[in-house]
Homo-oligomer: A and B are copies of this chain.
Amino acid sequence: MLTLDQLNAMSETDFTAALGGIFEHSSWVAKAASARRPFATLAALHDAMTAAVRAASDEKKLALVKAHPDLAGKAARAGALTADSTSEQASVGLDRLSEVEFERFTTLNDGYQGKFGIPFIICVRRHTKDSILSEFERRLTQDQSGAIDTALGEIFRIAALRLDSQVSAPVRLPLHGRLSTHVLDTHGGVPAAGVPVELWELSRDGDARLLLRTVTNQDGRTDKPLISERPVPIGTYELRFSMASYFKAHGAALSEPPFLGVVPIRFSVAEPEGHYHVPLVTTPWGYSTYRGS
């Protein structure tokens, strides 16, 4: 990781080399921002880069947009993406599409390219495969200038996340959301410790993908948030709490099979930078949940 101080002290050439990839194949953005050094904060650096883009001519903006690869496209299959793009697309599973999914993305990409003459650009770290498909549908209804504006907005988000992962700074950019949980046992009046918890991502097609499996600690929480230090991808999730095994271990009188075995809580995330606290307050015979804080 570079530090802001190091970046502030570099020659223009070194600075441009260091941050040339923050905007895909467009090191001119870093070069333009270089002149505005020193930067007191990471936010100031990001602002200088986005200002450079905004000040550029329409041709240059369009070239920047077109410098981006298709999502899950042929370049990705051929291994011809930048390292950043490769890692970003992999994070949401775009490198593991089935043939059917690949066809679907290809059709959508082609439709989008056909309508707007630019690739469909989206900050994938804020999304799931499902929400990308929703965005495709929504953005196919935009007009040309809305399409360009939206593409630039997504490019700025991508740039911010790339800066965040490559430059360390005392104050970080506000890019990170959080998903956490907490299990309260109101049968015993204590935090529920030792409860197996799973987090699943659900797709509109009915697919379910296990994201993680953990166990609650003495305070009924997980040792670290379920998702943190990154945007929480827009999408639908299901938490599954193995409550029957917990209550059985604590000697509660249960029916056989227990009324509540695995408790599923299904919810959707709309703001990747938001804090989603989803507690379970439960007995063997009932429970409640809510968006907490």
**What CA separation (Å) do A109 and B134 show in the bound complex?**
50
Is A160 at the interface (CB under 8 A from chain B)? Answer: no
- CB nearest neighbor in B for A130: B257
Residue among B253, B256, B268, B289 making CB contact with A286, cutoff 8 Å: B289
Q: With A260-B267, A264-B266, A293-B219 in contact, is A283–B187 under 8 Å at CB?
A: yes
Contact A262 B266 (CB under 8 A): yes
Contact with B along A270-286 (1 / 0, CB 8 A): 11000000000101111
Which residue of B has the minimal Cβ distance to A283?
B186
- Complex-state Cα separation, A238 to B220, whole angstroms: 26
The chain B residue with its CB closest to the CB of A262 is B266
Residue of B nearest to A256 (CB): B270
- Which of A1-9, A168-176, A188-196 forms contacts with chain B? A188-196
CB-CB nearest in chain B for A190: B293
Given A264-B266, A266-B264, A283-B283, A186 and B290 contact (CB-CB distance below 8 Å): yes
- Distance A258 CA – B255 CA, assembled complex (angstroms): 27
**Contact flag A288-B285 (CB < 8 Å), given A189-B259, A257-B270, A259-B268:** no
Q: Which of B219, B257, B268 contacts A258 (CB 8 A)?
A: B268
Q: How far is the CA of A253 from the CA of B251 in the complex (A)?
A: 12
Residue A234, interface by CB 8 Å? yes
Name the CB-closest residue of B to A293: B191
With a cutoff of 8 Å between Cβ atoms, the chain B residues found around residue A236 in the complex are 257, 261
Interface flag for A184 (CB, 8 Å):
yes
**Is A38's CB within 8 Å of the partner chain B?**
no
A contact set with B: CB distance below 8 Å: 131, 134, 182, 184, 186-191, 219-220, 234-236, 238, 253, 255-264, 266-268, 270-271, 281, 283-293
Known: A187-B187, A189-B255. 16 other contacts (CB 8 A): A131-B257, A134-B257, A184-B291, A184-B293, A186-B186, A189-B259, A190-B293, A236-B261, A257-B270, A260-B268, A281-B286, A285-B290, A285-B291, A286-B290, A287-B289, A288-B289
